[in-house]
Structure 1
Amino acid sequence: MAVAVRQARQTPVSRSKRKIPDYLICEVLDGKPLYYKGYEDVLAGKKTLEEIMGSSSLQASIVYYLTAFIAKFIDEDQYNVLVSEPGVHLDRRDNVSNDIAIFDQSVLPGTSISKKYADVPPKIVVEVDISIAISELTETGYIYKKTGKLLDFGVEKIIWVLTEAQVVMVATKERIETFSWDKDIELMDGQKFNIGTYLAKKGIIVE
């Protein structure tokens, strides 16, 4: 007797239910993973992880300028400067990264620098653009949430450079101000940078 076997219908797994690999996590806020911008292209096989993690040439130029600017005046006996997305562990629900982080040596001495994220607050944090994929949060919401968490952690000043708007946002416990990047802006200890002037000097045109 022939037995008819009904084949189970295969239901495609939706992208929202598919497990996203941990290596695509850029940061964690409120216990929720935030993924690198472009992570969906990696999942789809359209790009590699290296392709979405890289900075644009404009972002890299600005980070270089600010790093070189800091190096000209920083007292290395008093401060440790970390670059290349140093991670900061705020608490068990929050891990973030920064483009540049300046630590007081009394807070992060050389003996505490290791292969792990720093778990103490930098004095100054510099961010150039947003490297995460925005889903539930808007870009403004993400900036303000991350800024608030860093300030609550003990960071004295957070500087955001936003290339699309060509502005610099400076946040402290007292106030948040936004300036055109053509203005002279104090980073610390009376030392002022000017991104617009630097870009013009290098012949970099931002449209």
Structure 2
Amino acid sequence: MSLIISKNKKLLKELIYEEVNGKPIYYKNYKLVIKGKKALEEVKMSSPIQSKIVSLILYFLISRIDKSRYEILSHEIGVRTKLGKRAIDIGIFEKIEVNKFIEKSSILPICPIIAIEIDTKAQLKEDEYMNYIYDKANDLLNSGTEKVIWILTKPKIILIAQKEKSWEIKKWNDDIEVMENIKFNLNRLLKEEI
């Protein structure tokens, strides 16, 4: 019996997506993993459209960003915020700062200057979705991030949050400024790839 409890505790720990105020936020559908109806890897996976968007934005940014100043990290990079630990799909960091921690930390003690999110993998009730986005974006902004760009695949909108500015809601066919002189248009990126 204690072996089963021990295995379940270990599994529950692996099912934590983020941690805020000392409380875990689990991966979407984590209960199905505990019941043995899904594999752990299944709940951690991105959908094909999410993966494609991440890839396209990475290709776009890598071809335009000043690589001597900035480092782009992706794949649910863990960062420590004022409220806990968060996972970021794509983060643009000051290279000189992030390189101090790349090989030393499993979770970065600094936040990116720009965070780009595509949907979320968090287990949320339907009415908690926008609150989660609002809370996470504010947590990042209060922890040093200058801009959060959140791409939602359903509905097809992009939220842009910046400290001390009103949030903006854009469409996928709008130009989105990541940094000065670096803008992408998600619809155009998707069409150029087809």
- Matching of residue 77 in structure 1 with residue 68 in structure 2: yes
Q: Conserved in 1, the CA contact under 8 Å of 2:56 and 2:190?
A: no
Higher strand proportion: 2
* Percent identity for Structure 1 against Structure 2: 36
Task: Name 2:3's counterpart in structure 1.
Answer: none
SS class of match (1:27): strand
Task: Name 1:175's counterpart in structure 2.
Answer: 166
Q: What is the TM-score of this pair, normalised by structure 2?
A: 0.89
- Matching of residue 131 in structure 1 with residue 130 in structure 2: no
Q: What is the TM-score of this pair, normalised by structure 1?
A: 0.84
One-letter code aligned to 1:112: F
Q: Which of the residues 52, 55, 65 maps onto 1:64?
A: 55
Q: Which of the residues 143, 158, 161 maps onto 2:148?
A: 158
Task: Answer with 1 or 2: which has the greater Rg.
Answer: 1
Task: Name 1:112's counterpart in structure 2.
Answer: 101
SS class of match (1:66): helix
Q: Deviation per CA, 1:82-114, whole angstroms, max 9, x where unpaired?
A: 1111000124x5100100011112332x23212
Q: Aligned partners of 2:101 and 2:14: how far apart in 1?
A: 25
Q: Aligned partners of 1:34 and 1:56: how far apart in 2?
A: 20
SS class of match (2:73): strand
* Structure 1 segments unaligned to the other structure (5+ residues): 1-17
Give the CA deviation at 1:40.
Answer: 1.1
Q: Conserved in 1, the CA contact under 8 Å of 2:156 and 2:172?
A: yes
Higher helix proportion: 2
* Structure 2 segments unaligned to the other structure (5+ residues): 1-7
Q: Aligned partners of 1:37 and 1:99: how far apart in 2?
A: 16
Q: How many residues align?
A: 184
